[in-house]
Amino acid sequence: MDRDRSQKKRAALLTAIDYEKMRGFSLSELMVAMAVGLVVLGTAYNIFTVQNKSLSNQEQIVEMQQSVRAAMDMICREARMAGYNPAGATFAGVTVNVSQLEIKTDRDGDAIISASDDVTYTYDSVNLRINKTTSGTTEPLAENIEALTFQYLDAAGNVTTSSADVRMISITITGRTALPDPLYPLNSGYRTYMLTTNIVPRNLSI
């Protein structure tokens, strides 16, 4: 009889232990687990958002710099040819104008400066871009440009207003990012990149 009682107690104890294992989580435990999960999820989202914004800003900066450099390279190549005159024609290779850069070359050597021999670069402040005009056609060269300036220098390195005395051209292009960065405090959030190049058209000294 004592054995039966002992077995019943043991069975009751095992049943209680099994029940304790099967009862699952309480409501308070579930709420704590959900709160911890939300904190972890929120932290991961914030990290992802910050990294994504940083990557987007870096891409815009690289795009801005490449655009400015490409535009400067194009203008420099044209400017270096200014005054090319194999036939001995009479014309000014560069026309002094602080608001634009006009370059003339006798490319085909026929002693005639045609529309295709006359290239002009101007700044469109309304659309924030550099335009290139040749053969009567104007096309955009670079977008998101804040400024385009020209300075004309003589053989002594002094600023000149005479087209005949131009021996060097100083060009400055200032570009900006396509979109503003809310975390950047200057220039309404637009980051900028300025590039200056001095060009010596070898044909102007001939």
User: Where along the chain do its domains lie?
Assistant: 46-205
DSSP H helical ranges for the chain: 2-22, 27-80
Considering the chain, what is the average pLDDT of its residues?
86
Distance, in Å, from the CA atom of 60 to the CA atom of 177, rounded to the nearest integer, reads: 6
Output Rg (C-alpha) for the chain, integer angstroms: 36
| Greater model confidence, 49 or 143 | 143
User: Above pLDDT 90, what percent of the chain?
Assistant: 64
User: Above pLDDT 70, what percent of the chain?
Assistant: 83
pLDDT digits (tens, 9 = 90+) for 72-92: 999 999 999 999 999 988 899
24: pLDDT strictly greater than 80? no
| Greater model confidence, 161 or 14 | 161
According to the model, what pLDDT value does residue 149 have? 97
Compute how many other C-beta atoms are within 10 angstroms of the C-beta atom of residue 175: 29
Compute how many other C-beta atoms are within 10 angstroms of the C-beta atom of residue 195: 14
According to the model, what pLDDT value does residue 30 have? 74
9: pLDDT strictly greater than 70? no
With beta carbons less than 8 A apart as the criterion, state whether 41 and 49 touch. Answer: no
| Greater model confidence, 55 or 2 | 55
pTM, 2 dp: 0.75
13: pLDDT strictly greater than 80? no
According to the model, what pLDDT value does residue 55 have? 72
In this prediction, residues 101-109 reach a mean pLDDT of 93
Between the alpha carbon of residue 56 and those of residues 43, 49, 71, the distances in Å are: 20, 11, 23
Residue whose C-alpha is closest to residue 120's, from 107, 136, 143, 109: 136
